[in-house]
A = this chain, B = another copy of it.
Amino acid sequence: MRDVAVIGVGMQKWGELWEKSLRDIFTESALLAIEDAGVDHIEAMYIGSMSSGLFCGQEHISSLMADYLGVAPIPALRVETACASGGAAFRQAYYDVASGAHDIVLAGGVEKMTDVSGGGATFALSTAADAEYEVYHGVTFPGLYAMMAVAHMHEYGTTRDQLAHVSVKNHKNGTMNPHAQYPFEVTLDQVKNAVMVADPLTILDCSPITDGGAAAILCPLDMAKKIAKNVPIRILASGHATDSIALNDRKNIAWLSGVENAGEQAYKQAGLTPKDIDFVEVHDCFTIAEICVIEALGFFEKGKGGTGAESGETHLGGRIPVNPSGGLKSKGHPVGATGVAQIVEVTKQLRGECGDRQCGDIKIGMTQNMGGTGGSCVVHILTSE
């Protein structure tokens, strides 16, 4: 397989984008990536979207987006694996270029979540869980992650304050990200005393409902060195794993074995260990998720993830900065776009373009994007070298 590089990325400011339709949001981010790459065409396109059908009454966005981006008749495909859809779209684009099938490929993600009313968004999101054994019995994602949080507290002694520290850190990072939906700081007390969603998680432990898109342009590394306007960011590894969709089928609901598996694949392909990673963008859909993920990826010992944000080790300037972008918590979480936005952040960090939230002179970044309660997980490692 050929070496592959990211040569362009794009996303708009995320939020409640009432004035933009699903197609507007996707094409805007795609055009930003195409402009950033400086290419005059693309040859294939992969789009991550979790539930454009339930959120917008629109499936078949492959054809729709190729049409509206003006790139038909190129092959375009939507991929879905819940909230890891964006990471999976990037992975398929990577395989496409690596295999030699196409040279210049766009990986995008999009979700417009604010056009449904009542419990529509919560229902649409709940379809990432097991419909028959979880959702029909009334549990939705805040409840599932709350159970994981309680298990983690019980098993390892993780504290309520440690959960809240994740939110405080990510909101602080988000104030330095012009694309973030909620670029404001929160205090420990504000997180703990906010409206309760599912004990112990308050609304400030939960990522928001967001409209947004993100895109990246990939091409062979050899070609990138000739045509790219920016430093090409090389893809060192791609890992992808599944786990049981329902929590009740897991031996330990406080441990994400799908994340562990995807991470191990990526470390093996890259020939690296957690110590070699300079910073990581992880899937903090809830504060407990970040704590579980940084353990499963090997940055912290099992049960010790809670110490990351509390001790400062995962802060900017810390041992292993986690979510310099602000993460899902502050930047927003348009579910199908999130995995691609992580690639946007890692690419910009590795190019040294992140201003006040720049991690320093770093060389190797990682992304971790997951669906459901970790029933699927995609991990990528990228480098500027």
Return chain B residues, CB-CB under 8 Å to A375.
60, 62-64, 67
Closest residue on chain B to residue A76 by CB atoms: B242
Counting CB contacts under 8 A, is A57 at the interface? Answer: yes
Counting CB contacts under 8 A, is A53 at the interface? Answer: yes
Which A residues, 105 to 150, have Cβ-Cβ distances below 8 Å to chain B? 123-124, 126-132, 135
Counting CB contacts under 8 A, is A371 at the interface? Answer: yes
Q: Which residue, of A75, A98, A130, has the highest number of chain B Cβ atoms within 10 A?
A: A75
Q: A53-B51, A60-B372, A101-B1 are in contact. Are A77 and B67 (CB under 8 A)?
A: no
Counting CB contacts under 8 A, is A213 at the interface? Answer: no
Tell me whether B261 and A73 are in contact (CB under 8 A): yes
Tell me whether A62 and B242 are in contact (CB under 8 A): yes
Tell me whether A371 and B63 are in contact (CB under 8 A): yes
Closest approach, in angstroms, between the C-beta of A27 and any C-beta of chain B? 13
Counting CB contacts under 8 A, is A347 at the interface? Answer: no
Docked pose: A20 CA to B240 CA in angstroms: 29
Tell me whether B132 and A21 are in contact (CB under 8 A): yes
Tell me whether A59 and B128 are in contact (CB under 8 A): yes
Counting CB contacts under 8 A, is A215 at the interface? Answer: no
Return chain B residues, CB-CB under 8 Å to A372.
60, 63
Closest residue on chain B to residue A131 by CB atoms: B58
Return chain B residues, CB-CB under 8 Å to A371.
60, 62-63
Cβ contact of A79, chosen from B56, B74, B80, cutoff 8 A: B80
Counting CB contacts under 8 A, is A362 at the interface? Answer: no
Tell me whether A73 and B249 are in contact (CB under 8 A): no
Tell me whether A77 and B81 are in contact (CB under 8 A): yes
Return chain B residues, CB-CB under 8 Å to A242.
62-63, 66-67, 71-76
Closest residue on chain B to residue A246 by CB atoms: B67
Docked pose: A316 CA to B76 CA in angstroms: 34
Cβ contact of A81, chosen from B57, B78, B124, B245, cutoff 8 A: B78
Return chain B residues, CB-CB under 8 Å to A54.
53-54, 59
Segment with Cβ contacts to B, from A31-39, A88-96, A181-189, A295-303: A88-96
Counting CB contacts under 8 A, is A273 at the interface? Answer: no
Tell me whether A73 and B243 are in contact (CB under 8 A): yes
Tell me whether A77 and B79 are in contact (CB under 8 A): yes
Tell me whether B92 and A101 are in contact (CB under 8 A): no
The 3 closest A-B pairs by CB, nearest first: A63-B375, A99-B99, A75-B240
